[in-house]
A and B are shown apart, each in its own frame.
Chain A
Amino acid sequence: MEIVLALGIGTLAGCGVWLILRPRTFQVIVGLSLLSYAVNLFILSTGRLGTGRPPVLAPQGIGDPQLFADPVPQALVLTAIVISFATTALFLVVLLAARGLTGTDHVDGQEP
């Protein structure tokens, strides 16, 4: 499972970096989204991979903490998703404003 996750994160990050370096604003925003997916998966992976491990302790007793998932990365990834979603939406508005003002979707505001 580790290798699949690592390859997935790597592919997403690679595509994201490539798209961020492209000249069209739409490509840049898709690139940023892909990069944030990669980062979110990366944060999740720092809590160690595993299935069937609840993040919340059972009510009848704590038992072995090894059987539980680390809840902190899950909380972090939730926050990160919300923040990156909000800033991406905000950026989208700026892109539309720039498109309206300059008449082009090139990142520099003019065709090369």
Chain B
Amino acid sequence: MVSGISQHLIVAPVVLPLFAGAVMLALGRERHRNLNAAINVASTFMLVTVAVALIKTADEADGGLAGVYRLGDWPVPFAIVLVVDRLSALMLLLTSLVAAAAVVFSLARWHRAGAYFHPLFQFLLMGLNGAFLTGDLFNLFVFVEVLLAASYGLALHGSGSPRVKAAQHYIVVNLAASLLFLVGVSLIYGVSGTLNMANLAARISTAGTSDRAFVEAGAGILGIAFLVKAGMWPLCFWLPATYASAAPPVASIFSILTKLGAYVVLRLWLLLFGQDAGPSAQYGAEWLLLGGMATVAFGAIGTLASQDLARLCAFSVLVSTGTVLAAIGMGHVGTTGGALFYLVSSTLGIAALFLLIELVERREPEGGLAAAQRETSREGEHMDDAREVGIAIPASMGMLGVAFIGCTAVIAGLPPLSGFIAKFALLSDALNAAGPQSGRVSAAAWALMVVLILSGLAALVALTRAGIRAFWASPERSAPRVRVIEMAPVVMLLILCAVQTVQAGPIMRFMQATALSLHAPQHYIRDVLGSPSKRPGLRATGT
């Protein structure tokens, strides 16, 4: 637990992007685009430092809880709290790193493809950070709506009829899922009388039989709402078209949105239906496991069937989410730790690939922009400035090729990059779940191993084929002009994957500690509920 000024650091990931976005809106969009871009970059990099500070505090704190931030200093079960533990801090850091890469990439050309890119980007970050931090079920809904509203705008960034068509489906699906979310939350509130996650977890173990049925139904409906957002098969039909048609920096940051669904499943499922939940323990585990594996299979078939790189990458998002969900569904500390390692590695790899494919598919030196301009000017919204920003780098094809091989290695799970270590850790823990001496391996672990290895093979085949087509099989095309400012984010994301490989030991220890505290949430519940209020006379009694 921290005190003093650093205690307010917890609320910074929400307040900072809110403030930055509001300032940008007040400045207006046309005259101050460069100033807006500067604010956006500055705010995003400040979020990275805040996230690093929080993850350090969380890792050093006893029990992994960096702090509980009571908004308005109301006693805990009655008002909204923000809670930072290892998992929240990890997700904050991952979000800010991917966001930093996406925003730097967008500076070269994409931020000029439509209005309000920078404010929407900051509001998206605000919603994401808030959703990762909040310890209140209804506040989670509000933050998810904030990020969704921003994501609707960003999905439409650049306009054009494929984007509008895909965004239309995306919006309908997410509005319907949000309504399901509300039904789930209100069912749970109606039975338990609380919206605080820690208080709910404390009450669920003592719930009566009829109440338990309602709580389980509510949790099931809530789960469906988040699995729609995570993209679990068969609820993922909207995802490939939306992600493939979104502008590259937008698609890159969207790779975090599916992980939000996975995060909520991890957080709520392990908190509410962990070992202490009595008869409800492990409620729905088999659905997560089977659904996750079905998602991996669907995504793998999709990657093989995709003809263009953007769709291939969108299906890789499904494979990644499916793997995380299936590993969570195994319900062991070890596999959860492996799943977290895999989540970070695959998100970084997919975000890098989304940025890279636009560079690879750029046909002639100015083709991408010219095409984008034609597209946007048809809709009456035109780029006000066709000037390119930044310096072109030499040997662009060679750089792109190496970066593509790096992305392939991370996504397919080949050595030497982090994808291999992630899958190895995940599978070795799944196979040893019954204990290394017993020699017994559950059927679920065998199935998970087969599905994961086949999906890796499918990703390898699909990406190699796409790479051959892009780099070798088109001799007549000239090398694309790529700017340092566009290549740097991709290289940065791949370097992060390399760091994850070199520092695999300490990072894996952190992931295992995170998984351990998620599977034993007593510490979390006690610290959140026991968080003392400075107001005299207002004592927390409702536990």
Contact = CB atoms under 8 A, between A and B. Distances in A.
B179 interface: yes
A45 B160 CA distance: 43
Contacts of B516: none
Interface string A27-66: 0100010011001001101110000000000000000000
A80 B182 contact: yes
Contacts of B168: 25, 94-95, 98, 107, 109
B169 interface: yes
B413 to A, nearest CB: 36
**Which range contains the number of B residues in contact with the other chain?**
20 to 34
Contacts of B164: 94, 97-98, 101-102, 109
A11 to B, nearest CB: 16
B11 to A, nearest CB: 20
Interface of A: 20, 25, 28, 32, 35-36, 39, 42-43, 45-47, 72-73, 76, 79-80, 83-84, 86-88, 90-91, 94-95, 97-98, 101-102, 107-109
Contacts of A32: 172, 175-176, 179
Contacts of A91: 152, 171-172, 175
A89 to B, nearest CB: 11
Contacts of B187: 46
A76 B165 contact: no
Contacts of B394: none
B490 to A, nearest CB: 31
For the residues of A in contact with B, the DSSP-based class is helix
B148 A94 contact: no
A87 B171 CA distance: 9
A20 B379 contact: no
Contacts of B160: 101
Contacts of A87: 145, 148-149, 152, 171, 175, 178
26 contacts: A20-B172, A20-B176, A25-B168, A32-B176, A36-B179, A39-B183, A39-B186, A43-B186, A45-B190, A46-B187, A46-B190, A72-B189, A79-B142, A84-B178, A87-B145, A87-B152, A87-B178, A88-B175, A91-B172, A94-B152, A94-B156, A94-B164, A97-B164, A101-B160, A102-B164, A109-B165
A94 B171 contact: yes
